[in-house]
Amino acid sequence: MTSGWSIYIIVLTVGNILALTWLLWWTSRRPAGESAELETTGHVWDGIEEYNNPLPRWWLILFYLTIVFAFVYLALYPGLGRFEGVLGWTQITQYDAESARISERQREAFAKFQDKDLLALAADHEATEIGSRIFANNCAVCHGADGRGAPGFPNLADDDWLYGGGPEQVLASVRHGRNGIMPPLGAVLGEQGVAQVAAYVYQLNGRETDPAMSAMVADGERIFGMQCAACHGVDGKGNQMLGAPNLTDDVWLHGGSFEMIKRTVRDGRMGQMPAHENLLSEDQIRLVTAYVLSLSQRETR
């Protein structure tokens, strides 16, 4: 804020308070020589006259006290342009103090888990309970409250992992995030080529194909070997180093119908798992990782 704007705000604020103070004083006084008899406004309704009486003394005192309070408040706290107030309070300093207090309490609560490895934490009920609350606040909006995902968001409660389900891989996903890109191939393959690749992918997990789709499988396999095998592998089992999904199982991130596979091949897919290293503390990252590991362990027991 510039000095000119600061002065303008100070003059406007203080001037308004002083003007209201004068107005309150002026309307409460009785001019000299005026009759002490009760004065009416001339309004009469149903036999009731409206008197022009001054405010009661106790009410005036309350108004004056609010004015005094306003000046005291503006002296102690910021409110007059660039003047920071005698106490030097700001919402930022209060936020920082509250954040520091909460962080200290968290460090005390998490201290007992710092020496445990991730698999031990995943088996610790208290650790996973804390992790579940962190998950609910930061991850459930995409992966669901139960971690079972939604179209476009991976199910974390099964044993199918795009980037690996080991403790270190899951920890890296939470800490650094992931960026998954399936390039669009529609312009390269044309609609016929897209349908052929989709037909081949559709039957990789052993599903039956109708005669029309079966006729496209051989050509689709040839195109797949040239365009898709570099990421998904010659056998279609994927590559966790790249985050390329296994196409031979029955787990489909964006849907496994023939039409959905065609759409994926034609238009491509882009997925982003945001990094949480700047959003959560290291202890919180480890606890939410342990919770995610516990989800898949429960499912596969």
Mean pLDDT by 10 residues, the chain (301 residues): 90 95 85 63 84 84 95 94 90 92 90 92 95 96 95 94 95 96 96 97 95 96 97 96 95 96 96 95 95 80 44
Closest listed residue to residue 27, CA positions, set 65, 58, 53, 48: 53
**Which DSSP state fits 245?**
P
pLDDT of residue 35: 56
Q: What's the pLDDT at 210?
A: 93
Q: Which residue's entry shows tokens 């001037």?
A: 15
Distance CA 102, CA 45 (A): 62
- Where does CATH 1.10.760.10 sit in the chain? 108-177+274-300, 180-273
pLDDT reported for residue 36: 57
Encoded tokens for 150: 């939604």
Asked whether the beta carbons of 286 and 120 are under 8 A apart, the reply is no
The architecture CATH gives domain 180-273: Orthogonal Bundle (1.10)
CB 224 within 8 A of CB 201: yes
Confidence at residue 245, expressed as pLDDT on a 0 to 100 scale: 96
Q: At what angle do helices 282-300 and 125-138 cross, to 10 degrees?
A: 110
Please report the pLDDT score of residue 301 as a whole number: 44
| pTM greater than 0.85 | no
Q: Which CATH class, in words, describes the domain spanning 108-177+274-300?
A: mainly alpha
The pLDDT score that the predictor gives to residue 42 is 80
